Structure formats: C-alpha cells, structure tokens
C-alpha cells in the first residue's frame, strides 16, 4: 500500500492503474475508521482492481459550533487497517493540499438539505458535496462507496452525481452495527460505556417501527410517536429529529404508501448520533432506487 499526500501523486498513481485497465474504487472517509468504513473498503476490493481510500477531515463541512477540533484521529490504526485489507492507495491530504487558495467554488444541491440533518447543519452538505466533487475529480474513480448510515448524504451525493453527469457510480453499503445494534460511527468514541448502552435505543426504536409497519401501520405520525417513546425512555437521549421521508427527495411523507426512509438524529451525552432504516410497507412494490 502506498500512502501519498498530494493531488499530483494520486493522479500519477491512478493514471497508471487506469492505463493498466484497472477499475478504480474510491472510499472517501474522514478517518477514525471503524467496521462501517471497512465494509466499504471490502466492497471496493471485491469490485475494483485498484482501491483508493482517502482520509481527510474536511473543515468546510463542519459548522462553527461543531466538533472539527475534537474529531477523532487514529491515523496509525487507520493505516494498518487499510494495509491489512489490501488497499492500494491511501490518500491523506493536508487542508492546504485540498484548499490551496480560498475556496470560492461550491457545489450546492437544492431542496434535499432542507430536511433531516440539514436543518440543524446549514452548510454541512455544501461542504460535503464540494469536497466529494473534488475527491472525485482528483481520483476519477469508476465507483465510489458510501455508507447507508449517512442516508441524507447518500441521497444528496446521488443527486449531485446525476445532475452533474459525474462519471462515477455511487455504491451504497448497508449500515454496520455493534452487537447491541448501535450503528457504527466515529463519533461513538465520544460515548461513555453507559451512554453506549443507552444508544442502542436508536436501533431498537427503528426495529419497533419496522414491526409496526409489518403489522400494517402506515401512519407516519403514529410511527414517529412510537419511535419517540422508546428513545425518550433513555435518560441521556435528546431527540433532534425523527422523520419519515421519501428516500430520494427526502420530503416528509404522512402516509407510508411506498418505500420510505425513517431517519433520526439523537444527542446522547456529547455525541449527536444518526440512524435510519429503509422501509417498504407490505403489499407495495419497489418505487425507490436503492442500489
């Protein structure tokens, strides 16, 4: 595995791989890698002859009151994990390398960021779209891998890729969970062991909602209330939002008459956690692109 810091080095490496006829897979990350990230790496390894992992804690996607400074950094462990999985190229740029001059150009997706996390993180997705566009242009991957855990990010990046005709296929990978059901997240490190136990309520609540749906419940408010009840029972949990939305456009749905995304964000102690489930009410057919 080669580790590089500069755009030029990435371009040279990838150009050779492409000239050799290799399919290029990109796994963009902010480091602090966990099993969720590693599942993306494994997916890329299974489909691509050349797998590039980027580790870059992108300042432009953090709000002024967010955890940019505190964001976990475990570079040695990340490097070892990438090496062990057979990653070909590890791209660890500096902020100066990614933003050598004041960034004046931004990729904005309208409407989709008005929902879910976008409401409490106003410029977040502008930063995500812009840095991902940059990484796509630097690496020029054939496929790029993202976790279903960040469902809104995934929907927005898919729309960006379609709208801008980006020559890359966006691949979604399922949420990876800890044994108690807690979705893997770099921010789980912020939790005490007691909070980590409580944090299972997010997945428990989604599972309960899924059971209600399987039993015929289609009213969004009823489902959201049922989820809220379970989460409110955790002493340290504070709900940011619980929403049932269209999986592509992220608009709230009042009746579950087709595929939907149930998404939630909950603060538990120092960590803001998100989780979600794609649900399909029994008797309906596939209406959303879930590939």
User: Minimum CB separation from its own copies for residue 203, in Å?
Assistant: 31
Per CB under 8 A, contacts with its own copies among 167-186 are: 167
Q: Which of 65, 76, 110, 286 binds its own copies (CB under 8 A)?
A: 110
User: Minimum CB separation from its own copies for residue 251, in Å?
Assistant: 12
- DSSP tag of 264: E
Q: Any idea what the Cα angle at residue 168 is, between residues 124 and 147, rounded to 5°?
A: 50
**Residues near its own copies (CB under 8 A), total:** 28
What is the rounded distance in angstroms from the CA atom of residue 253 to the CA atom of residue 262? 10
Per CB under 8 A, contacts with its own copies among 124-163 are: 129-130, 133-134, 137-138, 140, 159-160, 162-163
Q: Which of 105, 193, 285, 291 binds its own copies (CB under 8 A)?
A: 105
Burial label for 66, CB within 10 Å (0-12, 13-18, 19+), is: middle
Cross-strand bridge partners of residue 89:
2, 52
User: Minimum CB separation from its own copies for residue 19, in Å?
Assistant: 9
Q: Does 193 bind its own copies (CB under 8 A)?
A: no
Count of alpha carbons within 13 angstroms of residue 242, beta-carbon side: 23
Q: Name the one range near its own copies by CB under 8 A: 54-62, 105-113, 210-218, 282-290.
A: 105-113
Q: Does 111 bind its own copies (CB under 8 A)?
A: yes
Q: Which of 4, 43, 85, 107 binds its own copies (CB under 8 A)?
A: 107
Nearer to its own copies, 7 or 262 (CB): 7
Residue from 37, 83, 115, 208 carrying the catalytic annotation: 37
DSSP of 238-253: EEEEEEEE-TTT--B-
CB atoms within 10 A of CB 262: 26
Q: Order of strands, edge to edge, in the sheet holding 50-55?
A: 2-4, 89-91, 50-55, 24-29, 143-147, 169-173
Q: Which tokens in the block code for residue 167?
A: 């020559």
Does 37 qualify as catalytic in the annotation?
Answer: yes
Per CB under 8 A, contacts with its own copies among 2-41 are: 7, 11
Q: Which of 27, 33, 53, 112 binds its own copies (CB under 8 A)?
A: 112
Residues 44/147, Cβ–Cβ less than 8 Å: no
The residues that touch its own copies, with contacts defined as CB under 8 A, are 7, 11, 101, 103-112, 129-130, 133-134, 137-138, 140, 159-160, 162-167
> Active-site residues: which are they?
37
């Amino acid at each position: 595995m080669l580790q590089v810091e500069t755009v030029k080095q990435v371009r040279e490496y990838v150009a050779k791989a492409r000239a050799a006829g290799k399919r290029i897979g990109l796994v963009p990350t902010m480091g602090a890698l966990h099993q969720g990230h590693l599942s993306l790496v494994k997916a890329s390894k299974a489909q691509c002859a050349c797998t590039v992992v980027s580790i870059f804690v992108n300042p432009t996607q953090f709000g002024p009151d967010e955890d940019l400074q505190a964001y976990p950094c475990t570079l040695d462990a990340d490097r070892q994990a990438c090496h062990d999985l057979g990653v070909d190229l590890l791209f660890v740029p500096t902020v100066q390398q990614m933003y050598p001059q004041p960034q004046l150009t931004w990729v904005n997706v309208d409407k989709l960021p008005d929902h879910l996390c976008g409401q409490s993180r106003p410029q977040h997705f502008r930063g995500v779209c812009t840095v991902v566009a940059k990484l796509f242009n630097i690496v020029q991957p054939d496929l790029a891998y993202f976790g279903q855990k960040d469902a809104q990010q995934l929907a927005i990046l898919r729309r960006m890729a379609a709208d801008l005709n980006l020559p890359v296929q966006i691949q979604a990978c399922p949420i990876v969970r800890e044994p108690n059901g807690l979705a893997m997240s770099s921010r789980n490190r912020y939790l005490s062991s007691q909070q980590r136990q409580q944090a299972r309520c997010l997945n428990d609540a989604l599972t309960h909602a899924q059971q209600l749906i399987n039993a015929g419940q289609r009213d969004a408010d009823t489902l959201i209330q049922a989820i809220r009840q379970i989460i409110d029972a955790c002493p340290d949990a504070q709900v940011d939002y619980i929403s049932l939305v269209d999986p592509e456009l992220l608009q709230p749905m009042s009746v579950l008459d087709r595929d939907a995304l149930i998404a939630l964000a909950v603060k538990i102690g120092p960590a803001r956690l998100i989780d979600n489930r794609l649900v399909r009410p029994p008797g309906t057919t596939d209406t959303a692109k879930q590939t």
